[in-house]
Amino acid sequence: MNHDEKNIMVILSSPSGAGKTTITKKIQQKYQSFKISVSHTTRKPRPNEVDGVDYYFVSQEKFKKLIKEDKFYEYAKIFDNYYGTSKKSVDSTIKNNDIIFDIDWQGTKQLSKFKNLKLIKIYIVPPNKEELKKRLIKRNQDSPTEVERRFKAYDQDIKHWKDYDYVIINENLENCYKQIEKIILKNKNTEIISSQKVL
Ligand code: 5GP
């Protein structure tokens, strides 16, 4: 994977329901240079989700075919469904844009193996477990069984915070967003300055 030195790759991970998707969308709306990496998944679309925008929704069969053909930079099985980042979509995006990945800790580990990438890894934590449950229920996008499952995955997920460059507690969405914005701007500026020095 090669990319222009001035473009950065930001990974945002969190336990399900910590507010990551809202933050990701907010960054993209404010900074035109940022594009969200659209993953492939075998999960069924939620009522408000659009194919090709939120995910590329594919069958298990198709996903397994793509794995065999080595089409993914990373993929993982999460809550019984496959999720993956396709090489094609990243390679075309990173040429002219910064990129945000909304992926889990397993995908983060796999992307970290590409040593030539300028990755900024951010882990978002909900203020506490009860708050997370409230958010999962309030979101009202998953069945009660699915909510329970995602809630139970919290303990396993949170163990991986150490693999990240930054850990942010999402006590308040606006503050959390501002902290992430600061991290991004800091890294983006460093990149620009360092490439100017080379010139
Ligand atoms: P959801 O089903 O709520 O959209 O996503 C479930 C989890 O899958 C989230 O933690 C999300 O970050 C993760 N995820 C989404 N796309 C990818 C991907 O392409 N790769 C990996 N490893 N995780 C993903």
The pLDDT, as a whole number, for residue 67 is 98
172 in a domain, yes or no? yes
Q: What pLDDT score was predicted for residue 145?
A: 86
Query: What is the structure's pLDDT at 73?
Result: 95
Residue 133 lies in a domain: yes
CA 103 / ligand 1 centre spacing (Å)? 5
User: Quick one: pLDDT at residue 55?
Assistant: 95
pLDDT at position 184, please? Answer: 93
**End-to-end alpha-carbon separation of the chain, Å?**
23
pLDDT given at position 140: 76
The tally of domains found in the chain comes to 1
C-alpha span between 1 and 115 (Å, rounded): 10
pLDDT of residue 2: 58
Tell me which residue has tokens 């501002």.
178
Q: Is residue 160 part of a domain?
A: yes
Structure letter (DSSP) for residue 46: P
Written as one letter, the residue type at 65 is K
Hey, which bits of the chain come out as E strands?
9-13, 34-36, 39-41, 55-57, 72-78, 81-86, 98-102, 119-125, 166-169
From first to last of its 199 residues, what are the pLDDT tens digits of the chain?
A: 655 567 899 999 998 777 788 899 899 898 889 999 999 999 999 988 999 999 999 999 999 999 999 999 999 999 899 999 999 989 888 888 999 999 999 999 999 998 878 899 999 998 888 888 888 788 777 788 888 888 888 888 999 999 999 999 998 889 999 999 999 999 887 654 544 444 4
Instruction: Flag whether 148 is in a domain.
Output: yes
Contact 100, 7 (CB under 8 A): no
For residue 114, is it within any domain?
yes
Q: 113, 168 in Cβ contact below 8 A? A: no
Asked whether residue 146 is assigned to any structural domain, the reply reads yes
Assess if residue 91 is contained within a domain.
Answer: no
What residues does ligand 1 touch, defined as CB less than 6 Å away? Answer: 16, 39, 43, 74, 76, 78, 83-85, 102-104, 106-107
pTM (predicted TM-score): 0.88
Establish if 58 belongs to a structural domain.
no
What tokens were used for 126? 């909900």
Q: What is the CATH number of the domain that holds 184?
A: 3.40.50.300
Domain that holds residue 182: 9-37+97-197
pLDDT at 197: 46
Pocket test for ligand 1, best of 12, 22, 39, 99 (most atoms within 8 A of CB): 39
For the chain, the residue count is 199
Query: In 10 A of CB 137, how many CB atoms?
Result: 13
